[in-house]
Structure 1
Amino acid sequence: MGVETVRIQGLRSSDAAELDARIRRAKAALGKRAVILGHHYQREEVYRHADFHGDSLQLSRAAAEQEAEFIIFCGVHFMAEVADILSRPEQASILPDLNAGCSMADMADMPQVQRAWEELATVIDVEQEVTPVTYVNSSAALKAFCGVHGGAVCTSSNARKVLDWAFGQRPKALFFPDQHLGRWTGYQLGIPLRDMPVWDPSLPLGGLTPEEIRRARILLWKGHCSVHQMFQPAHIERWRREHPQGQVIAHPEASFEVCRM
């Protein structure tokens, strides 16, 4: 598995019209050999060139069904990795800029998770008591870690089903890298907040006592989306005063307080 990077010569010196024309010529020359995926977060001048639009998993599935040998993912690193995982062996997943990353995904890496697993093993029988669950917004290495240890990968829409499955395997879950998605999902399953402590990878035993670890149902990794963190209850309160008949929709990566409102 590998995600490649392509650098376009003269990119910074070209104006928007020239770049647009160069992209169109390249697409015409490659034809069905290449497919461009545009994540919803992309700006319009990139979005217009995509063959498929949507969220990361939806795009990866669409690409795997195409004849194209080159999958060009206009998104972040973990998205291109997912496309590479789901694609056929003869297809290459290309990330135009390897520096395109997700701050949340970067909050949990393999050495940290492996160390957490080993530290948990000093308190409980981790292989018999804990099911690791990672959000799809994470590296391929962490997805593989969950597979090795009998865990699973979830999306924001199926997190409840996956955690419900996880508790059918073992009594506890280690959920990373987004604490907010894990907390809200656990709350929907009826788990008290006190039984969902936060594991801080920078501290010994995640900053928890052995008793807190033994009591926990979900160990929430200290990670978050820096964008969703910006939404606050005060924003909802103000909006509701102005639009009392309106509805508020929150993504579960937002804080618990926001999701409750």
Structure 2
Amino acid sequence: MIELGLEPKPTPLALLLLGKDADPDSEKGVECPGSLPEASDPGLVARALAAKARLGERVFILGHHYQRNEVIAFADVTGDSFKLAQQAAAHPNAEYIVFCGVHFMAESADILTADNQQVVLPDMAAGCSMADMAAINQVEACWDVLKAAGIADVTVPVTYMNSTAAIKSFTGRNGGTVCTSSNAKQSLQWAFAQGEKVLFLPDQHLGRNTAVLELGLSLDDCVLFNPLLPNGGLTVE
């Protein structure tokens, strides 16, 4: 099995501001001395509530488990990324799908919804370090290496749900599948029934742990492609 494990590229993140004030209630339990952003302006909350009421059933708001309570308060449904993507697909009459999560989650919802629906990500800088571990240009370079080695035709790509739309598209174009953490074993079993090798994306751990602990492969069967080395640091063998 071949896996791709890449260092995450820098992603713009909301940083805590340094200073002397205490943490707000929303950050209780976090050791972070300094001045943090104020809680949402009550006026802003009132405007958001009014906008949601005005739009009615035209808008459907998804709130990921990781969001703060003041964001979850606006959500029509909460859950993990897979559940929320399913919920987006289950509401074809909503003109606007507001996804309070990270970039790959909104992309997944956009894939599953109709062309006349608009998926809105409130913060375009909300990224996921795991999804960023496999950039599409690096994956395509890896695939070129596999082609040159004559093994791309017997390699099946499998990507975890936490990956970008570009990676999901690559996986589909090359006969692969998208898996969740709960069906990773079944997905790898399916992939090995289709070919001799698996290219697992975007990181190494779910694929490696599933292969070794669930399928009985050895660690020697799981090699890591390093995009910084010639041919990923691998040999054909």
Q: Calculate the TM-score normalised by the size of structure 1.
A: 0.73
Match of 2:70 among 45, 53, 61: 45
Identity %: 54
Number of positions where the alignment pairs a residue of Structure 1 with one of Structure 2: 199
Taking only aligned residues, the RMSD between alpha carbons, in angstroms, comes to: 1.5
Q: How does 1:92-241 map to 2 (within 5 A)?
A: 92-127=118-153, 129-187=154-212, 188-211=214-237
Cα deviation, residue 53, structure 1: 0.1
- 1:173 aligned counterpart, secondary structure: strand
| Aligned residue in 1 for 2:23 | none
Cα deviation, residue 126, structure 1: 1.0
Runs in 1 of length 4+ with deviation above 6 angstroms? none
Question: Hey, what's the Cα distance between the residues in 2 that align with 1:172 and 1:207?
Answer: 17
Question: Hey, what's the Cα distance between the residues in 2 that align with 1:70 and 1:150?
Answer: 32
- 1:165 aligned counterpart, secondary structure: helix
Letter in 2 for 1:78: F
1:16/1:104 Cα in 2 relative to 1: closer, same or farther (>3 Å)? same
Question: Hey, what's the Cα distance between the residues in 2 that align with 1:206 and 1:104?
Answer: 19
Which one scores higher on RCO, CA 8 angstroms, separation ≥ 6? 2
Deviations 1:88-107 (A, max 9, x none): 22211111111111011111
- Structure with higher helix content: 1
Deviations 1:106-150 (A, max 9, x none): 1111111110001122223312x1001111111111111111111
Question: Hey, what's the Cα distance between the residues in 2 that align with 1:210 and 1:75?
Answer: 40
- 2:199 aligned counterpart, secondary structure: strand
Cα deviation, residue 56, structure 1: 1.0
- 1:72 aligned counterpart, secondary structure: strand
Cα deviation, residue 15, structure 1: 4.5
- 2:56 aligned counterpart, secondary structure: helix
Gap runs ≥5 in structure 1 = 1-11, 212-261
Question: Hey, what's the Cα distance between the residues in 2 that align with 1:151 and 1:58?
Answer: 22
Cα deviation, residue 210, structure 1: 2.6
Q: Calculate the TM-score normalised by the size of structure 2.
A: 0.80
Gap runs ≥5 in structure 2 = 1-36
Question: Hey, what's the Cα distance between the residues in 2 that align with 1:180 and 1:14?
Answer: 36
| Aligned residue in 2 for 1:27 | 52
| Aligned residue in 2 for 1:18 | 43
| Aligned residue in 1 for 2:102 | 76
| 2:134–2:203 contact (8 Å) kept in structure 1 | no
- 1:201 aligned counterpart, secondary structure: coil
Cα deviation, residue 28, structure 1: 0.5
| Aligned residue in 2 for 1:245 | none
